[in-house]
Structure formats: structure tokens, C-alpha cells
Amino acid sequence: MTVRQEAPLASVDAVALLGALAQPTRLDIFRLLMRYRPHGLAAGDIGRLLAVAHNTLSSHLAALEQVGLLALRREGRHIIFAAQPGRADALLGFLANACCTQLPGGCAPRAASVPARRDPVDSDDPLRVLVVCTGNSARSIMAEAVLNREGMGRISAVSAGSRPQEAPHPLALGLLAELGYDTASMRSKSWDEFLQLGAPPLDLVITVCDDAAEASCPDFPGAPMRVHWGLEDPAAVAGPQAAQRAAFLQSYRNLTARVSAFVNLPFESMRLEELRPVLSAIGRMDGATEKTLFQAA
């Protein structure tokens, strides 16, 4: 396996990298692909996870590729975009001007080759996740959809509410459908369904709203671990349809950021005491509620 070290950046290169990242969507793309390193993602998956239109996405991907922050390769019918972390390391080294002398572990050389695009796995024992909010109509519904798709067979996710609505919010279902998710079987349901005799045991319960986290959480079968990823409720946003849709888009992006960080963990080989603080830290990513930010790690 060939290993190469990035050469020190010249000032003109550092300016180009900073300029490429000085745009919110491009920064989000690079952060997403850093979570999926080293294998990367197809353009369609990037657009879906960030809810960015294809024509807009193409120009941003080209800008990042031009400065060397992304590399692309073809795998069958797919064009895969992969982050080049060495370029980011070089930029950090340029800004710090002492990266590799003070923090040598952070500047280790990286493999230039990348594995093939990941394929779904047929696991006999996926991680069983229940996502909970109060109404089970927006945040938890979207999280269930993203976890099942991004988990690629390693995760089996369901969602429920402490006081469920009659049906999922139409803006949540509409957004998911636009982004290619199958919404036919999605419904709002009570967490009581997962307390009944014969209910499958759970490994992890994720609460995504503060009200559900503060509610008296029942003892689910399997005594699952519980973490809080509190986000503001997009369904609570009033005003014009455009403002409401924007709230759902932002909630979706906040959720996909957390899910993409989660699914790229080697959670199958992590002990409970290792996994819990990592999942709690993921919950404190951008968009977290105050309750999430100040809960114990």
C-alpha cells in the first residue's frame, strides 16, 4: 500500500483551500465526506444527505475537487467522491505552523488507496435502535428513515412517540419522498408498542426532543442504552410554507449529520462504556438544544 505525506502548503494554496471552504454548502459537503472517509459517497447520496439539488451540488463538488480537497473515481455506474484528509491536514499545519512538531500523532501519513464503495450487509444481528420524540411525526420519523438507509443492514431502526400524532407530518413525508426514501409504511405510533409482550428487544434508544427525554422513559425490553440528540421541532415553526419547509430541511440536515457520524463508527466492536460518550458527543453537533449541550457527556 502506497503512503504519501502532503507537502507543506504555500500561501497561495492555503488561500485557495480557505476560499473553497468559505461557503456553507461546500463546507457541509467536505465535513460529510470526512465522516465517510476513506471510501466516499456517490454524488446522489451526497445530495440526498444534505438535501442539495443536483445542479447546485455539481458546482460545489467541482470547486472542492479543483483545490484537491476531493478526489473522484468511477466504480461501475457510480462516480464516487472522497475527501482528501491530507489536504485538510496540510491546511491545519499551515495555520498552526507547528502541527507536526507539537502534535505528531495528528499528522500521520495516510493511505493513498481507498476501498471499494460500501455495499449493504445482510446482518443476522443488526443494532436495534428506537428513535423517540413526543409526537413521532417529524424528527423521529426522519431519523428512522435515514438510519435504516445509511445503516446498510448494520442497523434496524424504528421510531415512536410518548404522545403520538395521528400521522406523520406531511412536510416530513414529502421531503423524504423527494429525496428517494420509501415512506409507504411510515406511521406515527406509541412507544407502548415496544413494551408489549413479544416486542423485540432494543439495543439503543435515541430521544430527539427534550420533552421525550424529560418524560418518564419506560423500561424497554433488552434494557437498551439511552442517549439524547435533542433538536428543535420543525413542526412547531409557524408562518409561510417556505419557512416551515426550511425548518424541516434544517432538521433533516442536522439529523443526517448525526447519523452519518454514527454509522461510520465501528460500533459492533465497541464496548458500552466506549460507545455511550461517543454517541452523546454526536448529539452535541450543530443544531443541538441547550438540554443536549449541557447534559453530562
Exactly one of 99, 100, 107, 133 is catalytic; which is it? 133
Q: Please tell me the distance from the alpha carbon of residue 296 to that of residue 281, in angstroms, as a whole number.
A: 10
Is 209 catalytic? The answer is: yes
Q: Are 9 and 90 in contact (CB under 8 A)?
A: yes
Is 99 catalytic? The answer is: no
Buried b (16+ CB within 10 A) or exposed e, 44-64: ebbbbbbebeeeebeebbebb
- Partner residues linked to 130 by β-bridges: 158, 205
Is 133 catalytic? The answer is: yes
Show the cell assigned to 172: 416530513
Q: Please tell me the distance from the alpha carbon of residue 198 to that of residue 277, in angstroms, as a whole number.
A: 31
Exactly one of 99, 100, 107, 209 is catalytic; which is it? 209
Comparing CA positions, the residue from 205, 216, 233 lying closest to residue 144 is 205
Active site residues: 133, 209, 217
